[in-house]
Amino acid sequence: MRITTLLIALLCTCGLARLDAQEAVNEDINTIIRKHGLEQSQAMEIAGWMTDVYGPRLTGSPMLDKATDWAQKTLNEWGMKNVHLEEWGPFGTGWEMSHFEMHASSPSYWPLIAYPKAWSPSVKGTGSVIYMAAETVEDLAQYKGKLKGKFVLLDTIREVKEIWEPNAKRHDAESLLDMANAPMPTPRPRRNYNLGARGFRTALWELMEEEKPLAILDRSYKGDHGTVFVSSARTAEGRSRDKDKKVVPQVTVAVEHYNRILRNLQRGIDVKLSIDMKAEYTNPDEMEHNIIAEIPGTDLKDEVVMFGAHFDSWHTATGATDNGAGSTVMMEAARILLETIKESGVQPRRTLRLALWTGEEQGLLGSRGYAKDHFAVFPPDSYTPQSLKPEQEKISAYYNLDNGTGKVRGIYLQGNEAVAPIFRAWLQPFKDLDASTVSLGNTGGTDHLTFDAVGIPGFQFIQEPMAYFARTHHSNMDNFDHLSGEDLSQAATIIASFVFHTAMRDEMLPRKESKIDGK
Amino acid sequence: MRITTLLIALLCTCGLARLDAQEAVNEDINTIIRKHGLEQSQAMEIAGWMTDVYGPRLTGSPMLDKATDWAQKTLNEWGMKNVHLEEWGPFGTGWEMSHFEMHASSPSYWPLIAYPKAWSPSVKGTGSVIYMAAETVEDLAQYKGKLKGKFVLLDTIREVKEIWEPNAKRHDAESLLDMANAPMPTPRPRRNYNLGARGFRTALWELMEEEKPLAILDRSYKGDHGTVFVSSARTAEGRSRDKDKKVVPQVTVAVEHYNRILRNLQRGIDVKLSIDMKAEYTNPDEMEHNIIAEIPGTDLKDEVVMFGAHFDSWHTATGATDNGAGSTVMMEAARILLETIKESGVQPRRTLRLALWTGEEQGLLGSRGYAKDHFAVFPPDSYTPQSLKPEQEKISAYYNLDNGTGKVRGIYLQGNEAVAPIFRAWLQPFKDLDASTVSLGNTGGTDHLTFDAVGIPGFQFIQEPMAYFARTHHSNMDNFDHLSGEDLSQAATIIASFVFHTAMRDEMLPRKESKIDGK
């Protein structure tokens, strides 16, 4: 056993050294990629249609269907092959807001900056506001029979801070060095949920569903100055998009407006609000779709290099940085590759496959649906694969982008040490574009995890933070104006080069040691 | 003549030296003022009612009347004497928004963050959007007959920048030193208006008033991320609040939303918007009121120390930093003075007079109306006094606050060198509260100018900038959450001390050499 281990270690070391010395970089191709990506970028043109015209793109919504049609049409016009949709699901019902207006009507009129949480039902009415100070199941009893026709506040006042520090930032040497020096990642401990608190929350929401208040209001948990972060409505049990759901209307209010309402209640003033919300439940078949498009390979065409991003968004803006940015960059990378192939006459050896996922915001559902169809058998209600399908062996790599509009500063290896020298070699020509850092670390929260989970090398690039978490991620300000064309063009250029080089090398990318059955 | 000048110079120098050496500071009184102002502050309680409950306070609006009732009631309850209103005017008609909702209805629904400009009339309708690219009177002809029932955009796209630098700031040694070293102010040159451009603007607005579009939209000129700066509607001629006005509905839209509309027009997409705005024109007698309240003096009770701030605001938030802050501080200073007098048994020698002005936002109208009644005779349509009234000689000083929520870092002398040693002596005990800087410089834009113009020493304090110009001044985010209680308490404490010391000294404050006839 020990000898075997030693042999493997030796083999690995030799392999790494070989790669380090020999990993090919095609400078001619990179020159053409740079021309189309940097000098003739179409990134902002693509992003404009995807956001201003076809945003937001909430999974299940009619607008996502329109955006999907536009994306397919665009990819076909460019000359992508095998452009098609692949179904996944069931997702639950779709939802789209068709009207929303809310204001204070007593003691005086003022309009609210507020947004319904997704899957909130239609409601229209005027009512008093009540603040529920309940902290235990016992506290709830006093509110029984008192909530119908009312607006219910659950949150306390959140103090607003002025912007004493910049909201937006780019990486500096220090933050990049931290990533460059990241150790081999270890599995994260599972979160230890507070079951007591969960019991209270369930009881609270059961009360809400019995009492049927006009709406439940919370305040944006960050943002301020008119920026509001909003995602999905909740229920006592199950998901708000499930059929037979009982969803109480839920609205997130700008913190300054929420605080004003609550302070006036604390002053003993009867505050009345009015709401007029219309929402349609759509998509009765509950099935959703990913968009797939290819550039066929040649001698290794059965092997595939995948690159993609999630196409869906939340609903209060146009999904520009989350994840119009990533989808734009990946569509633009495809366009750059098509142009580069045309200009150079060099065909990719492996097939290049673009994927625009949906359902990411509800739990990487689109990419997981794809993994289920193509890569692995999963037990019910689990995304830990039971066994692998043959197609899993044919995917060399999957590249993903989903951290906003910021340009690429490097790449996370997701614990795959063997690809380090390869990626270092491929990043070397982009040193002038500030993309050099290779981090052994993991990054989470998006669709490369789906690939990593089934043993396919899946990567997310290191991106400039910009104002992503401070301002745009899941907020009403996630719109085109917060995109940076220069950053998107840089990302598309580097990713096109990564995809091309992955397609051309003799071997597929090395994989991490797998613990999955059947591999 | 030369001898006279020399004599005056000598007298002045002696006077200054005397003041420098002897200017009295009553430390016992300051201790009591600090207790009530810093330890038992009511500033945020006052500000809460003035904003959350009685905001906004647009001049001429019913809400301003309610706020005025509350202020008078509060001042009476505290024990202020001679609490009354003083009429000024005519101002024009009042205006109050009673409903506002606007959204895009084609090619897709989305709600707009937008606000009507004050004095815009009621309007309801849906229509296409047109961008007017006119730059000359000749360009306007092509739009004739094409604007009725439409939304008209006049502004180009404004690029949005992320917040790479802090929005909010406090003074540092450098910025304070600039003020400390400011030279004697010289009269400002009059602005040189571009009459050609004004001719075009008039023709443009005449066209609007003929064509009657549904509404004219502009974009917030700064702010972003949901913050919108909005003031008054305009007309081709005269003011939008004038009787027989022809006001076209005007709306300011959040820049990200405005840009989205305009970009879609540029893509050739027919954008349709819907508006539902209800506004009432109020106050048919056109007369407005300042709030006056006093603490009577004793041996010098015919002489008066005035302190005040403007009470009115714009209409899209609650007028918290402009100028709930100043009005709060001045009301709180009055309360501190009442408590201090009660506790110390020391009565002020001169009468202390609080003034809460209205109509400031439309051109210092309330304080100028007061000056007309009490201090000077003005020629028609001018605020340069023709002659002075006897009461002008009885006002020792007027102290004003109107630069947001930031605490006091010192005072502008408004070119009155002789008061420098006095104010230095009075600021000395507040060094621990960071208020030490005396600037010979002027500051403008608010009601102390009214007093300065009639030869009464009128002063505005140097304040911390905070987020005033970046975020709250005339914006939809000018609400209670952007007030700093600690800063307001500090300001009220220092101003209460200034007012008290001004009331107690043997002489009134020295005045600048006057060029006004009749003095």
The mean pLDDT values, 10 residues at a time, for chain A of 519 residues are: 39 41 90 98 98 98 98 98 98 97 97 98 98 94 96 96 94 95 82 69 95 97 94 92 91 98 98 98 96 98 98 98 98 98 98 98 97 96 92 98 98 96 97 96 93 97 96 97 98 98 98 67
In B, which residues are within 8 Å of A257 by CB distance?
Answer: 479
ipTM: 0.94
Residues 6+ apart with CB under 8 A from A471: A167, A168, A223, A227, A477, A482, B162, B163, B225
Query: A 446-485 residues with CB below 8 A of B?
Result: 466-467, 470-471, 476-477, 479-482
Q: Do B163 and A160 touch (CB under 8 A)?
A: no
In A, which residues are within 8 Å of B467 by CB distance?
Answer: 162-163
Check if B400 contacts A (Cβ < 8 Å).
Answer: no
In A, which residues are within 8 Å of B226 by CB distance?
Answer: 113, 225-228, 254, 476-477
pLDDT digits (tens, 9 = 90+) for B219-266: 999 989 999 999 999 999 879 999 888 899 999 999 999 999 999 999
Q: Do A264 and B53 touch (CB under 8 A)?
A: yes
Q: Do A111 and B100 touch (CB under 8 A)?
A: yes
Tokens at residue B267, please?
Answer: 């893509």
Query: What ranges do the domains of chain B cover?
Result: 24-92+285-504, 95-174+188-282
Smallest Cβ–Cβ distance between A225 and the set B109, B260, B477 belongs to B477
pLDDT of amino acid A193:
56
Check if B111 contacts A (Cβ < 8 Å).
Answer: yes
Sign of the C-alpha dihedral computed for residues B164, B168, B173 and B174 taken in this order: positive
Please tell me the pTM assigned to this model.
0.94
DSSP class of residue B227 equals B
Tokens at residue A373, please?
Answer: 């169809």
Strand B350-357 and strand B288-295: pairing? antiparallel
Check if B259 contacts A (Cβ < 8 Å).
Answer: yes
Check if B226 contacts A (Cβ < 8 Å).
Answer: yes
Q: Do A259 and B481 touch (CB under 8 A)?
A: yes
CA distance A44 to A516: 41
Smallest Cβ–Cβ distance between A109 and the set B98, B107, B267 belongs to B98
Radius of gyration (Cα) for chain A, nearest Å? Answer: 25
Query: Which residues, listed in sequence order, are joined to residue B125 by a DSSP beta bridge?
Result: B275
Sign of the C-alpha dihedral computed for residues A415, A448, A451 and A348 taken in this order: negative
- Torsion-angle region of residue A518: left (phi > 0), alpha (psi -120 to 50) or beta? left
What CATH number is given for B24-92+285-504 in this structure? 3.40.630.10
Give B59-84 as a 3 state SS string: CCCHHHHHHHHHHHHHHHHHCCEEEE
Q: Do domains B24-92+285-504 and B95-174+188-282 have the same CATH topology?
A: no
CA distance B69 to B77: 12
Cβ pairs A/B, distance under 8 A: 136
Residue that wins the pLDDT comparison between B42 and B12:
B42
Contact between B349 and B300 (Cβ < 8 Å)? yes
pLDDT of amino acid B194:
61
Q: Do B269 and A53 touch (CB under 8 A)?
A: yes
CA distances from A237 to A206, A246, A251, B127 (A): 8, 9, 19, 43
Query: Which residues, listed in sequence order, are joined to residue A307 by a DSSP beta bridge?
Result: A354, A399
Query: A 65-104 residues with CB below 8 A of B?
Result: 97-101, 103
Check if B144 contacts A (Cβ < 8 Å).
Answer: no
pLDDT of amino acid A196:
66
pLDDT of amino acid A213:
98
Give the mean pLDDT of chain B: 93
pLDDT of amino acid B22:
74
- Which CATH code of 3.40.50.720, 3.10.28.10, 3.40.50.300, 3.50.30.30 fits the domain covering A95-171+188-282? 3.50.30.30
Identify which of A413, A437, A446, A433 has the alpha carbon closest to the alpha carbon of residue A493: A433
Geometric angle at alpha carbon A15, from A14 and A18, rounded to 5°: 85
Q: Do A226 and B159 touch (CB under 8 A)?
A: no
Phi, psi of A512 (to 5 degrees): -70, 155
pLDDT of amino acid A190:
63
Q: Going edge to edge, which strands form the sheet with B110-111?
A: B110-111, B94-106, B272-282, B123-131, B151-153, B215-219, B250-253, B114-116
Q: How far is A2 from chain B (nearest CA, A)?
A: 56
pLDDT digits (tens, 9 = 90+) for B383-436: 889 999 999 999 999 999 999 999 999 999 999 999 999 999 999 999 999 999
For B95-174+188-282, give the CATH class: alpha beta
